[in-house]
Structure 1
Amino acid sequence: MLYMLLRGIISLMGGALGFALAQTALRWWVTGPPGAKQSLVALVTLLAALAGFILSRYLIEATLQIVRRLENKLQRLSAQEIVSGAMGLILGLIIANLLGASFIHLPWIGPYIPMAASILFGYLGWSLGTKRREEIWSLFSIFPKLSSKDKAKGGASSPGAKILDTSVIIDGRIADIIRTGFLEGTIIVPSFVLEELRHIADSSDILKRNRGRRGLDMLNKIRKELGVNVKIYEEDFEDITEVDTKLVRLAQKLKAPILTNDYNLNKVAELHGVKVLNINELANAVKPIVLPGEEMTVQVIKDGKEAGQGVGYLDDGTMIVVENGRRFMGQSIAVLVTSVLQTSAGRMIFARPKVLERKNNHQPLERGEYQCLS
């Protein structure tokens, strides 16, 4: 019903436009049979109304598409951005009217200058208002209600806010770190990170699908069980395609660090001056310190890269390379630490079997060590 009503209104507008144009054109037609002018005006009006009815379908569809796009863009904006953008729009229109009034008396182009200025300054006002909303809202920080709402949004003024990336969500250790109480403040999950998780969870590859679902389950666990304030940041950066670049831009915008275990993202963020909290570095930092000469017990489970080497692992995943440890494959032996190597991927411990040390030093072997040497 509304659709047909709009088409009827557009048809009437087309007919009225045709009638006005026909009347204007026939002012210079002074000769002709009686009633010819009226017939021609009626014909032009009818044709214009018919053209308006035909074109109304496309005009309505185009208008609806523009409205939908505008609605989608507005839905992605926060209330703070909409208010600050409206304030910028109003200020831009005021400036445009003040400037346009000075040129309105110019011949030919004078009446069109205020219209062009309103479009230009209105757009500039809206754009600057949305992009500079933090500075605009900081003017109202003297009001406690506004400042408290701004903090609740988890923006730049929210103390301790941290941004999660996809890798750290899928990793899952972030939940254990939050449970211990070492992380405080608002946890920000960007909408484009959620979208990437959803694509991974819908992947045809079973491994990727399981990882994506694990990440979504981990987010629900953090929000529901751990009682942490998790905020979904709806704004997206449509001019950027890479998720890592979007994270860096968001961190710069909110002045918040990024929680990640992605080595490449870590380096890119450091180049842009963004603070990064890498949980791999945290895991390496809390591992127990091992000094050369200390004794420990390790099970040799596989060959090393060099001849005669054996490899074992501690409970925290630290790799131990045992020199001349290949002969003890599958056994738990006592080793003496010779050196520790710290790399970007983690820590490696180099050791040698304690029984060989005793043999080389001609020390008496304890009971049970003869079997290892045989």
Structure 2
Amino acid sequence: MVEALILLVFLISGASAGWMGVHLLPQDLFNDTTNVEGVRWVLTGFGAFIGLIAGLVFRRLRQQLMRQVRTMPTDLLVSRAVGLILGLLVANLLLAPILLLPLAGAVSLVKPLAAVLSNVFFGVLGYNLAEVHGRTLLRLFNPSSTEALLVADGVLTPASAKILDTSVIIDGRIRGLLACGLLEGQVIVAQTVIDEMQQLADSANAEKRARGRRGLKLLTDLRETYGRRLVINTTRYDGAGTDDRLLQLSADTGGTLVTADFNLAQVAQVQELKVMNLSELVIALRPEVQPGDELLLKIVRQGKENNQGVGYLDDGTMVVVEGAGTAIGDRLPVVVTGALQNPSGRMVFARLEKESAAPRSAKANRPPRGNSGSKGNERPPANPR
């Protein structure tokens, strides 16, 4: 109903302007024509057509604006509105001396032109500045906060909010990151993430149901532990799925997306959004192993190649040891010879130390006791007294 009313208003306005604007035409044009009413109707139709096009454009702009307002976080909406108002205020203050100038003739057209240009320029400037630094501006409204004073002095950079993906909530690693203080700022959980975990908790699949319940239980524990630091964003974004909505939320709030999904992290990087990939963080926090380092490693299974053994470091890194295929279950000193980094993790290559390999080979070549072929090595009988 509202859309039709908008088109009707623009249509009537355009037609009225064409009907009444016939008097603005040059008088010489009326001297050459005898059908003034026909010209009036032509102008009316042309004005109605222009009004209809303007109505369609305005309706499209209104739909986009309403969609952004519905999905925009409240603090960002307030900051942008404040920035726009301050920009228009500055523009009109600067216009006051120009409007008071006694200009005559065609030069007087400078006044409305300067008014339009200055309002558009400073309005857009204030809007953009508020979009970038709006959260800092809102924090300055609380002068009793030490953090706000530091932000105002430029000493402290405000921490960006951390937006949690479903993957980091379900696997539980976010609890340890928060407990260690590695994540600063507000922790935002989007409503779409909660809806996705609820669907998993209601699933008929036992594994999915357990994952969903584990994620919801973790959110409850985080709420009890961190209180108001954990924020539930109830904004309903339009998107194909949870990933698309999280990207929109990250773009609107300027927060850092925390995820363990490699593909989602790549898409966020392509869109130039802040992202923290927990898988990359785990790899970065692993202890560095350089060629030549000596390790005491337990061989747990055989490798793919002949006479290879496989062991694991404390962080789960797989170590392939040459010459340890027969040492399953033993803990042996090894020397690192190299490492290979791939998207799925890191693989370390090593070899047995010579000191540990020599006794094992000598033991393997030593003939067993009681062998008939080893009489020459038997101890001679003791001489009787």
Q: What band does the TM-score fall into relative to the shorter chain?
A: 0.5 to 0.7
Is the 8 Å Cα contact of residues 99 and 114 (structure 1) preserved in structure 2? yes
The residue number in structure 1 matching 2:241 is 242
Matched, 1:147 2:138: yes
The residue number in structure 1 matching 2:36 is none
Q: 1:227 to 1:276 in 2, by over 3 A?
A: same
Matched, 1:272 2:271: yes
User: In the TM superposition, what whole-angstrom CA distance separates every residue of 1:138-159 from its partner, at most 9, and x where no partner exists?
Assistant: 33679999824999xxxxx974
Aligned positions of 1:1-374 closer than 5 A: 99=13, 102-103=16-17, 121=58, 124-125=61-62, 127-128=64-65, 131=68, 133=77, 135-139=80-84, 147-148=138-139, 159-227=159-227, 229-238=229-238, 240-355=239-354, 359=358
Is the 8 Å Cα contact of residues 328 and 372 (structure 1) preserved in structure 2? no
CA RMSD of aligned residues (A): 4.3
- Please give the alpha-carbon distance, in whole angstroms, between the structure 1 residues aligned to 2:136 and 2:58: 31
Q: Tell me the amino acid that sits aligned with residue 162 of structure 1.
A: K
Question: Does the residue aligned with 1:215 lie in a helix, a strand or coil?
Answer: helix
Question: Does the residue aligned with 2:267 lie in a helix, a strand or coil?
Answer: helix
**Offset of residue 191 of structure 1:** 1.1
Identical residues among aligned pairs (%): 36
Query: What TM-score, normalized by structure 1, do the two folds share?
Result: 0.60
User: In the TM superposition, what whole-angstrom CA distance separates every residue of 1:99-147 from its partner, at most 9, and x where no partner exists?
Assistant: 5795496789999x99998898577446426626463343367999982
**Offset of residue 286 of structure 1:** 1.5
**Offset of residue 369 of structure 1:** 9.3
Q: Which moved more, 1:245-254 or 1:320-329?
A: 245-254
- Please give the alpha-carbon distance, in whole angstroms, between the structure 2 residues aligned to 1:179 and 1:189: 17
Is the 8 Å Cα contact of residues 295 and 335 (structure 1) preserved in structure 2? yes
- Please give the alpha-carbon distance, in whole angstroms, between the structure 2 residues aligned to 1:350 and 1:144: 50
**Offset of residue 175 of structure 1:** 0.9
- Please give the alpha-carbon distance, in whole angstroms, between the structure 1 residues aligned to 2:190 and 2:254: 14
- Please give the alpha-carbon distance, in whole angstroms, between the structure 2 residues aligned to 1:193 and 1:144: 24
Is the 8 Å Cα contact of residues 179 and 226 (structure 1) preserved in structure 2? no
Q: 1:192 to 1:230 in 2, by over 3 A?
A: same
- Please give the alpha-carbon distance, in whole angstroms, between the structure 2 residues aligned to 1:220 and 1:262: 23
**Offset of residue 278 of structure 1:** 0.9
Q: Tell me the amino acid that sits aligned with residue 346 of structure 1.
A: G
Question: Does the residue aligned with 2:326 lie in a helix, a strand or coil?
Answer: helix
**Offset of residue 281 of structure 1:** 1.4
- Please give the alpha-carbon distance, in whole angstroms, between the structure 1 residues aligned to 2:194 and 2:135: 32
- Please give the alpha-carbon distance, in whole angstroms, between the structure 2 residues aligned to 1:105 and 1:127: 32
Query: What TM-score, normalized by structure 2, do the two folds share?
Result: 0.58
Is the 8 Å Cα contact of residues 96 and 121 (structure 1) preserved in structure 2? no
- Please give the alpha-carbon distance, in whole angstroms, between the structure 1 residues aligned to 2:55 and 2:300: 76
- Please give the alpha-carbon distance, in whole angstroms, between the structure 2 residues aligned to 1:317 and 1:143: 44
**Offset of residue 249 of structure 1:** 2.3
Q: Which moved more, 1:194-203 or 1:119-128?
A: 119-128
- Please give the alpha-carbon distance, in whole angstroms, between the structure 2 residues aligned to 1:328 and 1:334: 12
Is the 8 Å Cα contact of residues 162 and 256 (structure 1) preserved in structure 2? yes
Is the 8 Å Cα contact of residues 333 and 356 (structure 2) preserved in structure 1? no
Is the 8 Å Cα contact of residues 334 and 350 (structure 2) preserved in structure 1? yes
Is the 8 Å Cα contact of residues 164 and 257 (structure 2) preserved in structure 1? yes
**Offset of residue 259 of structure 1:** 0.5
Is the 8 Å Cα contact of residues 355 and 369 (structure 1) preserved in structure 2? no
- Please give the alpha-carbon distance, in whole angstroms, between the structure 2 residues aligned to 1:135 and 1:323: 63
Question: Does the residue aligned with 2:283 lie in a helix, a strand or coil?
Answer: helix
User: In the TM superposition, what whole-angstrom CA distance separates every residue of 1:331-373 from its partner, at most 9, and x where no partner exists?
Assistant: 21111111122222222111112246763xxxxx5xx997699
Question: Does the residue aligned with 2:314 lie in a helix, a strand or coil?
Answer: coil
Q: Tell me the amino acid that sits aligned with residue 147 of structure 1.
A: L
- Please give the alpha-carbon distance, in whole angstroms, between the structure 2 residues aligned to 1:144 and 1:337: 50
Is there any run of 5+ residues in structure 2 with no aligned partner, and where?
21-40, 70-76, 86-129, 143-156, 367-385
Is the 8 Å Cα contact of residues 161 and 186 (structure 1) preserved in structure 2? yes
